[in-house]
Copies of this chain bind each other. A is one copy, B any other.
């Protein structure tokens, strides 16, 4: 996002997406979290733009598919900027050579819904590769704590499309980042939230996050950055 890591519209009462029924009943939705790559840029660009609209920050939005392509996916995942894509399907995911990335085997869950989700943008977000539908993403990268002398992850963006919210998908994405942090021996996972977004704050606190009230983000950008650093 344009500002400092806008949280997703929170999922205030996440459904227990991690407790999977052995035999899905009702309306099962198959959910996959996998590493993104350059092929995902068209969908990613649309998701980021949606986020800018949601945050009423389109005046700060200047990303293009080309600029995303040239700045992302140039380093090994988890060492630098990393994107995980959230996909859904009404039928089980077929084994897929492309997505069975040995660096990060996809996470697959089944969520049982009372009613099927009506997604008005199914075709816009349908994958040309295997026909599943992109529902959200998380973008994060390593940061560092000198007090801990350990890296961590900073979550810049966490976004779930409107019709998929309040199903626990935001928590699934954040859990995926936290799991990777724990596996890598990292010391923390951080992100930002708007102070008036009380639902998000409650959601994050329920997940065990501490929300710091005293710190403020400072930013040099545009002409100010040029003025200080342009000589």
Q: Give chain A's interface residues, CB within 8 Å of chain B.
A: 1-5, 7, 48, 51-52, 57, 60-64, 67-68, 71-72, 75, 79-81, 139, 141-152, 154, 156-157, 174-175, 177-183, 187-196, 201, 204, 207-221, 223-231
Q: How many copies does the complex hold?
A: 2
Interface contact B181-A63, CB-CB below 8 Å: no
For the complex, give the distance between the alpha carbons of A210 and B216 in Å: 10
Residue of B nearest to A231 (CB): B179
Residue in A62, A181, A201, A215 with the greatest tally of chain B CB atoms within 10 Å = A215
Select which of B201, B217, B228 is within 8 A of A192 by beta carbon.
B217
Measured CB to CB, the nearest residue on chain B to A47 is B146
> Which residue of chain B has its CB nearest to the CB of A148?
B62
Partner of A156, one of B61, B143, B210, B230: B143
B48 touching A147, Cβ below 8 Å: yes
Q: Which residues of B contact A226 (CB under 8 A)?
A: 182
Choice from B63, B192, B195, B221 contacting A149 with Cβ under 8 Å: B63
In the assembled complex, the Cα of A149 lies from the Cα of B193 at a distance in Å of 20
Q: Which residue of B lies closest to A151 (CB)?
A: B71
Of A141, A144, A223, most buried by chain B (CB within 10 Å of CB) is A144
Task: Contact check, A75 vs B79: say whether CB atoms are below 8 A apart.
Answer: yes
Q: Which of chain B's residues has its CB closest to A182's CB?
A: B229
Q: Are A225 and B181 in contact (CB under 8 A)?
A: yes
